[in-house]
Amino acid sequence: MRKDIKLLHEQIRAGNFLALARGITIVENELNGYESLLLQLHENRSARVVGITGPPGAGKSTIVNALLHHWLKENKKIAVIAVDPSSPFNYGALLGDRIRMSEYYNNPNIFIRSLATRGALGGLSGKIIEITDLVKEAPFDLVLVETVGVGQSEVEIAGLADCTIVTLVPEAGDEVQTLKAGIMEIANIFVVNKADRDGAEGLYRNLRMLTHERAGLGTETPVIKTSATENNGIDLLGGEILGFLEMQQSIPEKRLQLLSEKCWRLIQEQRMKKIDQKKMVYELALAAERNDFNLYAFTRSFIAAI
């Protein structure tokens, strides 16, 4: 098994898409050898991760399509990780991106993979950190992560991406003033998509005012108008993303912040594996019958015994 995993890793680094797909399946489902595969990964600094988030209907997939078209003209090699809602029957991804991005599915410079949320909060898959790092092991220039679009809990994308794009549409104009601070803070670039619709200019102005107020003496977050179905504004957006990533390379604090967020998530995940839920419920049922029962004291003692 160890030799097989080593060979698989070498094939992934060589750009073998079939090997990468197999590796993702191993990691996502925690099949035999998944930990060995993860332990072989290098911290690849050349492939940069771009997160694209926003509410349902904001046109995230259309923007991804348009960016792929734009960057292919610049000879970029790109991976797309599209986090889809889980099927209620088998917890697999509904594979919506396979339909939306069908024209790129067989392109040798584009790799597309659907992941299911499987109940994970925040619009991402529970294995998104590990899978993204695995994809970065292949020779890509960019890795695009499109979230499922569940709303304002998607701030966790900031712990994964080198550049986070928050996409909004004119219909969200009245909601901009009530956006949580977390959404405002994670956006490295705002996109007003479907900019040909009524209300787009008002949304654009509101976002510009909000970013100006929050910037203080610092740099304002760019706000870009696009109409992705017509490819309008995509060249500007693509250039803004690459410009941000180039500038960010000189800020080691940002890199450390991203790594610490990943490390924290992985520690939480590993710690939770040690908890036997059935044992916890059994012991909790016994403890709850006592007159002096205290949930917080029970939790502390249960954790200490792990």
Q: What is the DSSP letter of 50?
A: E
Q: How far is CA 22 from CA 16, 25, 92, 165, in A?
A: 10, 5, 16, 29
Global pTM?
0.81
* Per-residue model confidence as pLDDT tens for the chain (306 residues): 678 999 999 999 999 999 999 999 999 988 999 989 999 988 666 789 999 988 878 888 899 999 999 999 999 999 999 886 543 333 444 445 445 566 777 899 999 998 875 544 444 556 888 899 899 999 999 999 998 664 444 556 767 788 999 998 887 655 565 565 566 677 899 999 999 998 899 889 988 888 887 776 577 899 999 998 899 999 999 999 999 998 876 555 666 776 787 788 788 878 888 888 899 999 999 999 999 999 999 999 998 887
Q: How far is CA 245 from CA 17, 46, 47, 254, 271, in A?
A: 25, 11, 10, 11, 33
- Other Cβ atoms closer than 10 A to 77: 18
Residues shown for the chain = 306
CATH class of 44-254: alpha beta
Give strand pairing partners of 227. Answer: 232
Strands, E assignment, 5-154: 48-53, 78-84, 110-116, 142-146
Torsion-angle region of 253 (φ positive above 0: left; ψ -120 to 50: alpha; else: beta): alpha
Q: What is the DSSP letter of 257?
A: H
Q: Would you kindly state where each structural domain of the chain is located, as residue ranges?
A: 1-40, 44-254, 274-304
